[in-house]
Amino acid sequence: MTGQFYPTVSGRILRVMLWTTSLAVLLFLVAPLLAIIPLSFTSGEYLQYPIPGYSFRWYEDFLFSPEWILAFRNTFIVGTATSVLATTLGTLAALGLSRDGFPFKRLVTSFFILPVVLPAIVLAVGTYFAFAAVGLTNSLVGIILAHTMIAVPFVVITVGATLSGFDHNLVRAATSLGATPVRSFFKVTLPLVFPGVVSGAVIAFATSLDEVVMILFLAGPDQNTVPRQMFNGIKYYLSPTITAAATTLIAVSILLLVAVGALRARAGRQQRPAKENS
């Protein structure tokens, strides 16, 4: 029958080897997470296997302890503000870089990507000396600005990928019909790149949620975030509460990844009809 594909024996063996290798690598990457999650439900005072019993006491400590409540509140404030600022700045930068004839496009793009390339410790030390001179250390404002600097490149990359298939003639057509630049942005450009913008916002929030090196240099005792509180707990006293916090962060990260995947799939479905009609 035409159209059917009958793989050879060597092809089948290669396929099995490929799947086995992929599953082995995936298990290697996920194994540390699988080891941490059960420990968050232990009833013991220490991190040990076998688990003596199961309890939610460490989740109660994570959710109701004053130190963790402060860390969670700071993490939410910093992450939300970082997401808003980084999404705004990164979207505007991506729109500018997507235009034809942009001068020194590669140089400017490299400048935006620089915080991702530099080692975290080098960026943190430089940021500390720059912020200390203007009094931005030991404050949430300084942390938000530092996290925004780290998150902007991810927004530029995400929104830039969405703009790769954007037709700028649509903006020109809206302008020729009397629309102002602001109106054409909100009525034409933003709806088309909205999935990429939201994906960039989610990634910016996740970047702030995961960051700890910059916090160690810029934050004071009142600016603890969840990652720094976990770092301090590991440094001074290894409490199972850390595993509860880690499990919660894993769950949040998975939800963010699912949201980003759904948004990218939606953007792909929206771009297909546009390409077919063009």
CB 58 within 8 A of CB 42: yes
DSSP result, 10-24? HHHHHHHHHHHHHHH
Say what the pLDDT of residue 116 is: 82
Bridge partner residues of 137 (DSSP): none
Q: Using 50, 70 and 90 to split pLDDT, how confident is the model at 147?
A: very high
Dihedral over alpha carbons 178, 181, 183, 189 (to 10 degrees): 110
Q: Which of 227, 84, 73, 64 is nearest to 144 (CA)?
A: 84
Domain membership of residue 4 (yes or no) is no
Domain of residue 123 covers 66-277
pLDDT tens-digit series, residues 174-221 = 777 777 777 887 787 777 788 888 888 888 888 888 888 888 888 877
Q: Which of 195, 99, 200 is nearest to 158 (CA)?
A: 200
The three-class DSSP label of residue 119 is coil
Alpha helix locations (H) across the chain?
Answer: 9-39, 57-64, 66-97, 105-117, 120-132, 140-163, 169-176, 181-184, 190-210, 213-218, 226-236, 241-277
Bridge partner residues of 42 (DSSP): 54
Domain membership of residue 61 (yes or no) is no
Say what the pLDDT of residue 269 is: 64
Domain membership of residue 5 (yes or no) is no
**Total structural domains in the chain?**
1
CB 216 within 8 A of CB 228: yes
Q: Using 50, 70 and 90 to split pLDDT, how confident is the model at 4?
A: low
CB 76 within 8 A of CB 69: no
Residue 136 has pLDDT above 90, yes or no: no
Residue 93 has pLDDT above 80, yes or no: yes
| Burial class of residue 249, CB neighbours in 10 A (0-12, 13-18, 19+) | middle
Which one is predicted more confidently, 48 or 72?
72
Say what the pLDDT of residue 244 is: 86
pLDDT tens-digit series, residues 30-61 = 888 888 888 888 887 877 778 888 888 888 88
Write the single-letter amino acid at 256: L
Domain membership of residue 115 (yes or no) is yes
pLDDT tens-digit series, residues 161-185 = 877 777 777 777 877 777 777 788 7
CATH number of the domain residue 227 falls in:
1.10.3720.10
Domain membership of residue 52 (yes or no) is no
The tally of CA atoms less than 13 A away on the side-chain side of residue 29 is: 6
Q: Which of 6-10, 19-23, 264-268 comes out lowest in average pLDDT?
A: 264-268
To the nearest 10 degrees (0 to 180), the angle between helices 66-97 and 105-117 is: 160
Residue 177 dihedral angles phi and psi, to the nearest 5°: -90, 5
Say what the pLDDT of residue 267 is: 60
Domain membership of residue 57 (yes or no) is no
Residue 54 dihedral angles phi and psi, to the nearest 5°: -115, 140
DSSP result, 46-89? S--SS---B-SHHHHHHHH-HHHHHHHHHHHHHHHHHHHHHHHH
Domain membership of residue 267 (yes or no) is yes
Mean pLDDT of 145-162: 88
Separation CA 201–CA 259 (nearest Å): 11
CB 130 within 8 A of CB 64: no
Q: Using 50, 70 and 90 to split pLDDT, how confident is the model at 6?
A: low
- Angstrom CA distances, 132 to 75, 77, 124, 142, 195, stand at 22, 22, 12, 9, 37
Mean pLDDT of 81-105: 84
Say what the pLDDT of residue 246 is: 84
